[in-house]
Structure 1
Amino acid sequence: MKFNNTLKAFFQRVLNWIKKNKIKSATAFLLLLIYYFSIPRTLFKEPYSTVIESQEGELLGAKIARDGQWRFPAQDSVPDKFKKCIVYFEDEYFYRHPGFNPAAMVNAIEQNRKAGKVVRGGSTLTQQVIRLSRKGKKRTYFEKIIEVILATRLELGYSKNEILELYAAHAPFGGNVVGLEMASWRYFGVQSNQLSWAENAVLAVLPNAPSLIYPGKNQIKLLEKRNRLLLKLNQEGVIDKQTYELSVDEPLPQKPYNLPQIAPHLLQRAAKNEEGTRVKTTVDFALQNRVNQIAKYYYNQYKQNEVHNLAILVIDVQNRNVISYVGNSPTDKDHQKDVDIIDAPRSTGSILKPLLYAAMLDDGELLPNTLVADVPTQIAGYTPQNFNLTFDGAVPAHRALSRSLNIPAVLMLQDFGVDKFYEELQKFKLRNINKSPDHYGLSLILGGAESNLWDLCGTYSNLSSTLNYFNKSDGKYRTAEFAELNYKHDFEPDFGSETTQKNVLGAGSIWLTYNAMEEVNRPEGDEAWKFYDSSLKIAWKTGTSFGNRDAWAIGTNSRYVVGIWVGNATGEGRPTLTGVTSAAPILFDVFNLLPRQRWFETPYKDLEEVEVCKLSGYLAKEDCPKIKQWVSKKGKSTTVCPYHKMIHIDQTEQFQVNSSCESIDKIITKNWFVLPPVMAWYYKSKHIEYLPLPPFKEGCEGNQTVSMDFIYPKTNSKIYLTKNFNSEVQPVIFKVAYSQREKQLFWYVDHVYKGATKVFHEKPIIMSAGFHYITVVDEAGNEIGRKIEVVRE
């Protein structure tokens, strides 16, 4: 009570004084206001180096600041050894003064007066921080007064440790080296918290005389200053005698160290987004070093074939974190070493095929074993070719994917629709697929579009995470599952809330797609992987762009996604550059660095078990040989098998018959697998078990069904005439598939007879330029025709 009365009386006297001395009060208030705001909110406005660290805190690389100085952003703490060294060398009373030391200043003035020049400053560390922040000011007594005032204000607003942090981050250490952390790397090649007492002592004396650090110069002076500080530390009991004796025996730094550049292209990315900051990344330090070694090894191999660039990206599926980032090979400037390939748009080759396969499964337009045509194809002047230039006639959809066959992929896209698939790709956020669907057409599935490693790895990471979460949550999805990849350690992804609605693809179709991708043929040396329990189990896909300019490989298991690109940044192709031979070996070497993972669990809640035709892969009819198979939810509503039909044969099973030529009691009814003529033509060469329809028995021809179709050319084809070495125009070779091999076919061009064929129905005909109509007639008068355009080159 007595204290409160005293306090009230004091404030009353102050108020009375203010009322009586308004001008003095206003002046004092204004001075206090100026004093309060004399320190800017941001004390140092210099540009900083961009610094990236691994998830463990190891330095991955740094980029010089815009003013040409190596100046790292201030750290949260200064190592204790350096604190003691700098305080004992520069300012013993640092923890006891209010920002300036009157005794030190008086001594400095006296020494300067006797010397007739400035030989000692008498500044505290706090004053030195102020002087560093007011760069370019002359060292006069007037400036000293300002420094003292600002130093006291700094002491009021900052803790002693924060002041030391500011000093350590901005003190000059010789040349363009600014700050303790950069000096530690430059002169000793380690982080500041790893420095010895002797090394800390060297750095403590350097800001006082930074010119002493130049290698080969002033070594004696630098050694004397360092050892005097070490002796003082020993005398003050900071270090013991043994530490002192060992420290003075340590050599001084000589040749400067280069900064680590372990992830230079990730540094570029960080500098573009967050210049002048210290970014702790998600990169695994040990893994990054190992992946760098792999990149260097393959670069040295591939440059022999004039392939100079490659990129590797490794993603943790759980959180979409980048755990290894190699943006380019260790090549040279002539071969674009500074280009970050990971974000560069490149032709996709076949890398989008799994997305089409999954979309068709998800929409119920396809089953995993559905036969897809693989025959010579021409669509509106577009003629796709398989990589090996052969045809299977018909191939199960999952095998077409695992073998990366081009013609089945184009025909599947034609069935699914280019516009529809384009919209699907937009949901995956593939940024470089940004032209209209008409611009790409059917070539969209074969590399007609461009994408980049970042987006593609993000897509497969999101699909893998979708499947993982569905199984983990007993059949649920997350609303924001399709998230961006991340390289910042402190970033917490938000995958949204649980929902029963899929994002883009259902878990069942993703799982079926990954099973097909697991079957992709392994690179050379790993062909027998299926026979070993310890084999690396991943879903993966390769891609090779037109002209062998880009080689891709992307793989995933339940925890990691690895993406590889190999080629030339200039776009120059090389004959031997393919996804399987160039990118796939790197992919498997990187996966072998990662912990082994279990295969994806089966998402039974998004699958249906149905009976499918064993031969065609379609939903089975009554008369089909059947097997059971897991399909997507919508898969149970796909088309039933169109290739099985009932036929009547004689008891020898060698001829088809009917009631006009065979008694009914001798007719056998049998289910027969029959493909369309062109498909059957190529299919039977790959499948010796395929049995074409038996011919009709003599006398039954009137009721037989004849199958006949063109193999080449296709409808409305444009045919280019070629010449031989003697400049002679070569004939066009027309081909027809015909179910009655022993019968003749008769050929006409524009209703002019050109000859007949038997057994092998291939007809070479000399053609003239222009539009023509080809007609083929069999012995029974059945006829097929085709309009073509012949162009002379």
Structure 2
Amino acid sequence: MLKAHKTILFTDLSFLALILIFLFALPSKLFRAPTSYVVEAINGELLSAAIASDGQWRFPLADSVPEKFMRCIVAFEDKRFYDHPGVDALAMARAMRQNLKAKAVVSGGSTLTMQVIRLSRRENRTLLQKLIELLLALRLELTNSKTDILKLYAANAPFGSNVVGLEAASWRYFGRRPESLSWGEMATLAVLPNSPSLVHPGKNSPRLIQKRNDLLDKLAVLGFIDQVTANLSKLEPIPGKPQALPQYAPHLLNRFKKEYASLAKRKTGTRVTSTIDYDLQLKINALLKRYNNRYRANDINNISTLVLDVKNGSVRSYVGNIYQPENKELESHVDMITAARSPGSTLKPLLYASMLNDGFILPRTLIPDIPTQIGGYSPQNYDLGYDGAIPADKALSRSLNIPAVKLLQNYKYQRFYDKLKKMGFSTLNKPADHYGLSLILGGSEVTMWDLARTYMGMARTLNHFNDYRGKYNPHDYDSPVYINQKRDTRFDEYELQLNSVLDFGSIWNTFNAMEEVMRPGEEGLWEQFSSSQRLAWKTGTSFGFRDAWAIGLNPDYVVCVWVGNADGEGRPGLTGIDVAAPVMFDIFKLLPNSKWFQAPKNKLKKMRVCRQSGYKAGEYCKEVIEELVAPAGEKTALCPYHKLVHLDRTGTYRVTDACEAPADMQHIPWFILPPAMEYYYKIKNSDYKSLPPFKPGCESTEQHYVMDMIYPKNNASIYVPVEFDGTRGKVVLNATHRNADAKIYWHIDGEYVATTKTYHQLAVSPAPGKHTLTLVDENGERLVQTFLILDKN
């Protein structure tokens, strides 16, 4: 009895072990072969794909299988697929009879489920392996639907050459997604896994056609299609040479491949549905190709653009470069969206906004625009001219370099460097002192990704003014996303902040200034770029004409364009205004129109501003206007250029109480600029009135800064070139005096050199070394400064 119980127990345990082995026989992941990296547009259309690491075109498992393929493959391979449990006993019995009769293997009797198991195992075909496939097929059917099994088959069946899976085959042989194939095309693909060697251009065509036609007739018999459709489908040509897959976003594909390791944490497979607008991407590709063909005549070989959706922070178009793999020397493989390049002037609006935000300037504060030398550094405006003084917003719209450097000198480059870091610029990997004041003129490197993200963050901040009831969401400056996935667009109140890197008012004033960009050159040429849309935009050109930029935005989109050569070669005419801005405007024509930003009224303060100087109005400002400015504008200084001037009774001369009775004086507010600024300002501003001279014998004992040096500035270093005959050339000294008729007596190193009147210019040839320049006018006013003449060696 005990022995019988043991036998029963052993049998039960053995049976249980067999059940457990059966249940756990399948691996957690049936197929482990590498798959192709695939990037799709937001509508599911294929943008780009790359061959798998094992050299096979094998797309990741699709979410569905086209109905046509399911009907074709079931009719061709396994007509009782939906009725058997993974093994078709009738088919196996028939196969055994046929094989015995032919004394060879002429039929396998394998079901589609068994074929899936065989494809996953890749073992030699033996009787033992056949039995294992049979058992595993039964196991597979236990936990997988028939549709799931067809998905596995469609994704892993061989379709000839290095093509694996229905989707890859559809693109390689017909250049279209499988859902769009005809019955004839789908029938052709359905017969291939049974004999994948049939696909050889120019070979086996009659056999492949016959197999396809037989399947079409079978489909008609089964009632899936009518005979007329079958007959018409037979007339369709079979595939020829495999086609190249679409490469509409190859640089985004490469980016996805590089970032896959980090994205895999989100269980993202090698297929990704992006946020790219398919139609927009193709239109921009075509647009850039046309421009590239034009620019190539000037040996400008590369162009890229990035379009961001401001509302949801996503990428709508990503063209890292004009893809030209046939010309390797053009380096079209380089993704210029992630490449670090000089930004030219594209950071100027960020400095303007930062200074508004921190209370350094008001929107139209006058900024000096005169010849400047700072520690041996002499910035130049693009047009090589000077305005003397110019409102900050106009300096930004005209992209003048000297006012920008003056602003940064006042703001401090260390502070601006820190601000850029907070905005997310990732390429500032050297200390602030390394860049210095050149930071504002393109002396650093940025990526298009960081630049576009920062402007998008500003636009998102302004858009969210009402949504967040005047608070700031720190995530507005988050990196844009290019993967389409469900995101929680809600925000938590506790995340909102009272302050941000830039406030609402400063951003609003900055965008308004950027909207008024003045186009250098002949205005008529810009009529072709006129747009009904309101845009805030800025161009930039790097030193040596190596990089041309244009970035524009409205409440809905940010468009950034870069034009140049990936290898850094500069070209004449490679400027943002000439080659990048036209592309940007044409891209905006492809986008829907947008309304302008709403003014954040309760985050703007009405301030009395001096019309002429743009400063906060002081008591002597004659013309006062009201401006909406950021709250920090309260911290700005009162107007320093309006002062009370004492004139005689006739208003002809300035006087003091030492020579004129106060009762006989006129006390008039006067707009007075420093001499160097006045020298250039009055040339372009005919309404500027210079101060009257002092009444003879009535000079003030106070210092009035009646003279100033235009060139050279104090402590300047000057290189004087050698002439053709070997003699040292001359340096032209230039000074200005408030009194147009005044005489200036020039002295170098204490020795008298010359006297000038009205136009105070003097050409001299000082020896190399340090010199002291002394200017004295007729009233004894003195101006003393030093300069250094560099040795020719």
CA contact (8 A) 1:737 1:761 kept: yes
1:372 aligns with 2:370: no
Amino acid at match of 1:441: G
CA contact (8 A) 2:398 2:519 kept: no
Identity %, equivalent residues? 50
The 3-state SS of whatever aligns with 2:192 is helix
CA contact (8 A) 1:345 1:450 kept: yes
1:18 and 1:554 mapped to 2: Cα distance? Answer: 85
Q: 1:514 to 1:380 in 2, by over 3 A?
A: same
Amino acid at match of 1:597: S
* 1:79 corresponds to: 66
From 207, 211, 214, the counterpart of 1:221: 207
* 2:264 corresponds to: none
Amino acid at match of 1:322: V
CA contact (8 A) 1:393 1:679 kept: yes
Per-residue deviation, 1:24: 2.8
The 3-state SS of whatever aligns with 2:356 is helix
Structural mapping, 1:623-702, within 5 Å:
623-624=620-621, 625-662=623-660, 664-701=662-699
Per-residue deviation, 1:740: 2.2
* 2:451 corresponds to: 456
Q: 1:31 to 1:523 in 2, by over 3 A?
A: farther
1:511 aligns with 2:508: yes
The 3-state SS of whatever aligns with 1:583 is helix
1:156 aligns with 2:154: no
1:447 aligns with 2:433: no
1:289 aligns with 2:282: yes
CA contact (8 A) 1:481 1:496 kept: no
1:133 aligns with 2:120: yes
1:501 aligns with 2:498: yes
* 1:265 corresponds to: 251
CA contact (8 A) 2:675 2:705 kept: no
CA contact (8 A) 2:363 2:629 kept: yes
Structural mapping, 1:55-204, within 5 Å:
55-135=42-122, 137-204=123-190
Once the two structures are superposed, residues 369-391 of structure 1 have per-residue CA deviations (whole angstroms, 9 ceiling, x without a partner) of 10001111111121111111111
* 1:563 corresponds to: 560
For structure 1, list consecutive stretches of 5 or more residues without a partner in the other structure.
1-15
1:746 aligns with 2:745: yes
2:60 and 2:528 mapped to 1: Cα distance? Answer: 54
The 3-state SS of whatever aligns with 1:513 is helix
Larger mean CA deviation between 245-254 and 745-754 belongs to 245-254
Per-residue deviation, 1:43: 0.6
The 3-state SS of whatever aligns with 1:480 is helix
From 383, 389, 392, the counterpart of 1:394: 389
Q: What is the aligned length? A: 778
Q: 1:718 to 1:772 in 2, by over 3 A?
A: same
CA contact (8 A) 1:309 1:329 kept: yes
From 297, 300, 323, the counterpart of 2:316: 323
1:106 and 1:526 mapped to 2: Cα distance? Answer: 86
Per-residue deviation, 1:434: 2.0
2:528 and 2:575 mapped to 1: Cα distance? Answer: 26
Larger mean CA deviation between 615-624 and 712-721 belongs to 712-721
Once the two structures are superposed, residues 510-541 of structure 1 have per-residue CA deviations (whole angstroms, 9 ceiling, x without a partner) of 00000000011248897598999972210011
CA contact (8 A) 2:77 2:111 kept: yes
Q: 1:330 to 1:651 in 2, by over 3 A?
A: farther
1:627 and 1:93 mapped to 2: Cα distance? Answer: 87
CA contact (8 A) 2:674 2:705 kept: no
TM-score (normalizing by structure 2): 0.95
1:32 and 1:526 mapped to 2: Cα distance? Answer: 84
2:161 and 2:639 mapped to 1: Cα distance? Answer: 79
* 2:17 corresponds to: 30
Once the two structures are superposed, residues 731-790 of structure 1 have per-residue CA deviations (whole angstroms, 9 ceiling, x without a partner) of 122222211232221222221222221111112111111122111122222211112221
Once the two structures are superposed, residues 591-627 of structure 1 have per-residue CA deviations (whole angstroms, 9 ceiling, x without a partner) of 0110010110111111100111110000111220211
From 10, 35, 44, the counterpart of 1:48: 35
* 1:7 corresponds to: none
CA contact (8 A) 1:524 1:581 kept: no
The 3-state SS of whatever aligns with 2:465 is helix
Per-residue deviation, 1:655: 2.2
Per-residue deviation, 1:697: 2.4
Amino acid at match of 1:540: W
From 478, 486, 504, the counterpart of 2:481: 486
1:222 and 1:42 mapped to 2: Cα distance? Answer: 34
Amino acid at match of 2:382: F
Q: 1:524 to 1:33 in 2, by over 3 A?
A: farther
Per-residue deviation, 1:666: 4.1
TM-score (normalizing by structure 1): 0.95
The 3-state SS of whatever aligns with 1:570 is coil
Q: 1:530 to 1:558 in 2, by over 3 A?
A: farther
2:175 and 2:59 mapped to 1: Cα distance? Answer: 15
The 3-state SS of whatever aligns with 1:342 is coil
Per-residue deviation, 1:495: 7.0
Give the aligned CA root-mean-square deviation in angstroms: 2.1
* 1:337 corresponds to: 332
Q: 1:328 to 1:532 in 2, by over 3 A?
A: closer
The 3-state SS of whatever aligns with 1:21 is helix
Q: 1:71 to 1:673 in 2, by over 3 A?
A: same
* 2:345 corresponds to: 350
1:305 and 1:785 mapped to 2: Cα distance? Answer: 50
2:228 and 2:669 mapped to 1: Cα distance? Answer: 96
The 3-state SS of whatever aligns with 1:451 is coil
Q: 1:533 to 1:324 in 2, by over 3 A?
A: closer
Once the two structures are superposed, residues 553-607 of structure 1 have per-residue CA deviations (whole angstroms, 9 ceiling, x without a partner) of 1111010000000100000001110011111000100001100101101111111
The 3-state SS of whatever aligns with 2:224 is coil
Per-residue deviation, 1:280: 0.5
* 1:251 corresponds to: 237
Larger mean CA deviation between 486-495 and 192-201 belongs to 486-495
Once the two structures are superposed, residues 163-185 of structure 1 have per-residue CA deviations (whole angstroms, 9 ceiling, x without a partner) of 10000000011111110011111
For structure 2, list consecutive stretches of 5 or more residues without a partner in the other structure.
262-268
CA contact (8 A) 2:656 2:699 kept: no
CA contact (8 A) 2:346 2:540 kept: yes
* 1:610 corresponds to: 607
CA contact (8 A) 1:401 1:516 kept: yes
CA contact (8 A) 2:217 2:227 kept: no
* 1:13 corresponds to: none
1:785 aligns with 2:771: no
Q: 1:398 to 1:770 in 2, by over 3 A?
A: same
The 3-state SS of whatever aligns with 1:56 is coil
Once the two structures are superposed, residues 126-146 of structure 1 have per-residue CA deviations (whole angstroms, 9 ceiling, x without a partner) of 1111111112x2122221111
CA contact (8 A) 1:734 1:764 kept: yes
Q: 1:525 to 1:19 in 2, by over 3 A?
A: farther
2:299 and 2:280 mapped to 1: Cα distance? Answer: 28
1:225 and 1:658 mapped to 2: Cα distance? Answer: 112
